[in-house]
Every structure is written in C-alpha cells, then in structure tokens.
Amino acid sequence: MDCEPPLAQVFLNLPATNIETDEQPIDVSGLKCYELPLVDLGRLNSGHTMNRKECEKEIIEAAKEWGFFQVVNHGICKEMLVKLQEEQVKLFQQPFHKKANQSRSNSPTGFYRWGNLAATSRAHFSWSEAFHIPVSSVSDFRTLNHSSSTVEEYIEVVSELIQIIAEILADNMGICFHKTFLAEKVVPSSCYLRMNRYPPCPNSYSKARGLVSHTDTSYLTVLQQDNIGGLQLMKDGAWICVKPNPNALVINIGDLFEAWSNGLYKSVRHRVVTNGQVERFSVAYFYCPTTETVVRSCSQPSIYRDFTFEEFKRQIQFDVRSTGNKIGLPRFLR
C-alpha cells in the first residue's frame, strides 16, 4: 500500500528555471542556527503585575523585531501534543489514493495538498504533503478519515492560547474595542489547521524545498514542530535556521496582523528546507477572521488599503493558480 505522493515524478518534470533570488542560499550547511526569542507564559497568571508586564513586553518586542517567537508554559499539556502527533502520523499513513480523493480537484472540501499542482517551475514546488482543514469543516474531515477527536481537542486549547496573545499584541496598538473585535471576528470556526509532512528528499534534488518561502495568511500562527529542524526565516535580509525546541510552541505574525498594526508587527517570510534522511512533521494553527471581516490599519498614513479577508484569500488563490506562487500583502499596498 503506497502512502507517498509522487513528488519526484512531478518535481523532475518541472523546469529548473525561475529560481527567485530570495530563495538563495538553499544550501543550509553555512547557515547559523538561532533560538527564537523564548517567552515564558507562566508569568501571565502569576498574580504579579510586574511579571505579567514583563512577559507582555517580551511578546511585543519579539513580534516587532522577529515576527517569530516561541512560548513555554503555554498551558497545552505534553500528552495532548504527543497525541496530536500520533494522530498526524496515522493520517498521513493512509494510502495515497485515499488522501488524494480529498484533494481540491476531486472534492469540495479539498483537505489534502501535495507538491503544488499549479507550479510552473521547481521554485514553486514544495516537497511535502498537507491536510489543510478549515475548522468549520473539521467534523467532515474526521468522518472522511475515520480519525479521533484529538484534532478537535487540540483546536479548543490552541484557540484559547492564541486569543490571549492576540489581545496582548492588539492592546499595545493603542486602539479601543480590540477585545470585542477579536472575540466577534476571530472565532475558532474561521480558523484553519494545517498538518504538514515533509518526506525525505534525495540530496541530489538540491533545488527542492520542503515548503516554499511564504508569509502566513492569518493574524497569527501557532506552530508545533518535531525535533528534526528545517524551518528557516528571513532576519535582517538573510535566511537563518531555527533551532527546534521540543518544549515550545512557535508563534508568528501573519499578513493580517501586519496590515492591522500598520507594519508595527512583521509577517516574516519563512520556508522549510528538505532533509535527505528523515521525514519531518509540523502542525500550524492559523488564527483567521470570518470572511467578511474588514482588515483596516490601526493608524494613518496606512501602508495597506482596507480589504476583507475574503478579498485577500481570493487574490492569493488567483495568484497561486495563475503563477504558482503566493504574492499576498504587496498586492494591497496603497
């Protein structure tokens, strides 16, 4: 029973041209590995105002400086994270034809993705497979895959965690009613969960990426990764490797917070590089608003024009389908 998507077959048939300059260097041997700023969330409920303020300050600074940080004492227990990973392994172990039946072209739900069927060159191709699940359809996903309630349990706890971080970041933007706005517009059912699997990739396919460079289509993303490593991000104009921390969850700013905060917080480009020997797993939770939500800058003059989340997603889909690549925020510059 073959579980693997035919990545090599499709990759090798794509032209090796059009490698964007921001994709260089893909060779990781010379890159330095960094630990992301580490924030201990245990201080938020310690009862000491000073500790809480310090913790909030660290979150805000990291969101401005890095666009990425990691959190410990986040309230999601180790057992839950282990259970989620086991569930994820099982889901990807299903036969390829069963997973492929859930791909966009064959099913309106479109949970399963692999490679990038719209790629026009190897630069657009991701050496990975994913279940991209709108939280509003998670019960359909469960039925289709005969899976357990673990995914839903995880969504419940991760959405509580990210709401707290979003409020801290929004509070710092000096606007009124952000708590009501977030509570009304960013509900779990408008969010997405993406399970990623990166199969080993032969070293000779040196131009392959695990996940091509992109920014996230969200306000915020919570990333759980295993200890293999491979995530890289842009820091001060250069790619750096992120050292995995098995006890931490990674949080990053997405496009919508960058636009809302008028560039105060940065939606940073990131990518995943391939590994020749071992598979890698990660789970991303995208904290997104309802489709009709207007994303409007909190200050003037604004870098980006107002847009609805629906408009933003439609533009991305159009660009991915017509060019093989996400463009994202630059499309909405004033």
Ligand X SMILES: C=C1C[C@]23C[C@@]1(O)CC[C@H]2[C@@]12CC[C@H](O)[C@@](C)(C(=O)O1)[C@H]2[C@@H]3C(=O)O
- Is there a contact between 232 and 273 (Cβ–Cβ < 8 Å)? yes
Min dist. Cβ of residue 285 to ligand AKG (A): 10
Q: For residue 174, give the DSSP letter.
A: T
Q: Which of residues 169-228 bind ligand AKG (CB under 6 A)?
A: 194, 196, 211, 216, 223, 225
Q: What is the largest CA-CA distance in the chain?
A: 60
- In one-letter notation, the amino acid at residue 170 is A
Is residue 248 packed enough to be buried (19+ CB in 10 Å), middle (13-18) or exposed (0-12)? buried
Q: Is position 216 an interface residue for ligand X (rule: CB under 6 A)? A: yes
Choice between 66 and 125, CB closer to ligand X: 125
- Active-site residue, selected from the candidate residues 113, 280, 305, 314: 280
Choice between 55 and 233, CB closer to Fe ion: 233
Q: How far apart, in whole angstroms, are the C-alpha atoms of residue 280 and residue 80?
A: 19
Min dist. Cβ of residue 216 to ligand X (A): 5
Q: Is position 326 an interface residue for ligand X (rule: CB under 6 A)? A: yes
Choice between 159 and 172, CB closer to ligand X: 159
Choice between 87 and 216, CB closer to Fe ion: 216
Min dist. Cβ of residue 55 to Fe ion (A): 25
Q: Is position 197 an interface residue for ligand X (rule: CB under 6 A)? A: no
- Spell out where the chain has E strands: 33-34, 38-40, 68-72, 112-114, 129-134, 192-198, 209-214, 220-225, 231-235, 238-242, 249-253, 270-273, 280-287, 294-295, 307-308
Q: Is position 297 an interface residue for ligand X (rule: CB under 6 A)? A: no
Q: Of the ranges 112-120, 184-192, 208-216, 241-249, which one interacts with Fe ion (CB under 5 A)?
A: 208-216
Min dist. Cβ of residue 223 to ligand AKG (A): 6
Q: Which of residues 223-282 bind ligand AKG (CB under 6 A)?
A: 223, 225, 231, 270, 272, 282
Min dist. Cβ of residue 186 to ligand X (A): 16
280 is catalytic: yes
Four-point Cα dihedral 171, 174, 177, 182, nearest 10? -40
Four-point Cα dihedral 82, 72, 269, 244, nearest 10? -60
Q: Which does 325 bind (CB under 5 to 8 A by kind): Fe ion, ligand AKG, ligand X, none?
A: ligand X
Q: Which of residues 212-241 bind Fe ion (CB under 5 A)?
A: 216
Min dist. Cβ of residue 333 to ligand X (A): 17
DSSP symbols for 209-223:
EEEEEE--SSSEEEE
Give the contacts of 328 (CB within 8 A, at least 6 positions apart): 214, 215, 217, 255, 267, 316
Strands 220-225 and 307-308, sheet pairing: unpaired
Q: Is position 132 an interface residue for ligand AKG (rule: CB under 6 A)? A: no
Q: Of the ranges 8-16, 97-105, 214-222, 233-241, which one interacts with ligand X (CB under 6 A)?
A: 214-222
The tokens describing 221, both together, are 């993303």
Q: Is position 194 an interface residue for ligand X (rule: CB under 6 A)? A: yes
The tokens describing 52, both together, are 């809480």
Interface contacts to ligand AKG, rule CB under 6 A: 194, 196, 211, 216, 223, 225, 231, 270, 272, 282, 284
Interface contacts to ligand X, rule CB under 6 A: 113, 116, 132, 194, 212, 214, 216-217, 316, 320, 325-326
Catalytic residues: 280
